[in-house]
Amino acid sequence: MPSQNIAATNTANAATGVAIDHGGKRVLLKWHRLRREMKDPLFSGEVLAAGLKLGASMEIDLRATRDGSFAVLHDRTLDRETNGSGPVSAYTGDDIRGLLYTEPARDGTVRHVLTAEDLAELLGPAQQDALLQFDMKDDFASVGEGALDRLEGLFADRDKHLVVSGDDTELTLAITDRLPAAKRGLEPSFRLMDLHRAGRKSEVGGQLTRELSGPIRPYIVYLNWKLLLDAYADGIDLVRICHDHGARVDAWTFTLADPDGGFSDDEWRKLERLLELGIDQITTDEAVATERAYLLRMGG
């Protein structure tokens, strides 16, 4: 093997899955639901700890409990993700901590469900650049002031590491009012995709502009990567619109079909186009494989 190929392979094998460098721009690789690789179980505390040390960008889902705590879970009910059953909101934080995730750790050991208290403890020694997105799955009415008080108490001195997003604008604003160093995220993809699919393509850019000018005033906007490419093919540059409003763009969820094999030619063409559009972050379930494959394609 030529020495330059060996060097490229060695560089790729050292991939951490934190970011790729595209033309001098650092594009973050966000770990979707705390998965650095598909082999990781969802919402792994071990992965979170590693990412905080590396300065990675990561995402979790949060559900409110009965007593104002939060569980690191996606679903409204416990049945699919844990060994419990029924609504998350029927349980206390202590109840939740006694439950196990359905998926064991990579070594086969059981994992207790994470709560907001666990996150606060792990965030203590976080590397300065580390970011953790709280994707809030409930609305303000379901959460209540007591839960906001608890979040403020837990994360008041750790909020610089947080990005808060969710479907309920009132809740996002309420949390970031309590945690002013936390950044705000906006997810308009489904509304934009509905317009695009309905043939109302001329309205897509205007809808995004209105949302960017709304009360969230996001630090980052989460946009489906296929929507970004389809809209651009129709002459609508959603990335530019976001950048013109001072917001960064996350393209979700771009995950390699064959992590060990690297990019297919089609995947590579699509990623190149996204990078040319100027995206700032890629949400993926295969961050390490994505960085490795990128380095190999670029020759290390």
Scored b (16 or more CB within 10 A) or e, 70-84 reads bbbbbeebbeebbeb
Measuring CA to CA, how many Å separate 149 from each of 152, 154, 183, 236, 273?
5, 9, 18, 42, 44
Q: Which amino acid, 63? A: R
Could you tell me the two tokens for 136? 């809030």
Alpha-carbon gap, residue 250 to 256, rounded angstroms: 17
Let me know: does 143 contact 64? Beta carbons within 8 Å: yes
Q: What is the pLDDT along the chain (300 residues), one digit of tens a residue?
A: 554 455 446 567 789 999 999 999 999 999 999 999 999 999 999 999 999 999 999 999 999 999 999 999 999 999 999 999 999 999 999 999 999 999 999 999 999 999 999 999 999 888 999 999 999 999 999 999 999 999 999 999 999 999 999 999 999 999 999 999 999 999 999 999 999 999 999 999 999 999 999 999 999 999 999 999 999 999 999 999 999 999 999 999 999 999 999 999 999 999 999 999 999 999 999 999 999 999 999 985
CB atoms within 10 A of CB 206: 12
Q: What is the largest CA-CA distance in the chain?
A: 63
Domain boundaries, the chain: 59-179
> What pLDDT sits at residue 1?
54
- Listed in sequence order, the residues at least 6 apart from 57 whose beta carbon sits closer than 8 Å to its beta carbon are 18, 28, 29, 30, 31, 130, 131, 133, 281
Task: Tell me if 186 sits within 8 A of 221, measured CB to CB.
Answer: yes
Q: Looking at the domain covering 59-179, what would its CATH class be?
A: alpha beta
Give Cα 11 distance to the centre of its chain: 26
pTM: 0.94
The whole-angstrom distance between residue 164's C-alpha and the CA centroid of its chain comes to 10
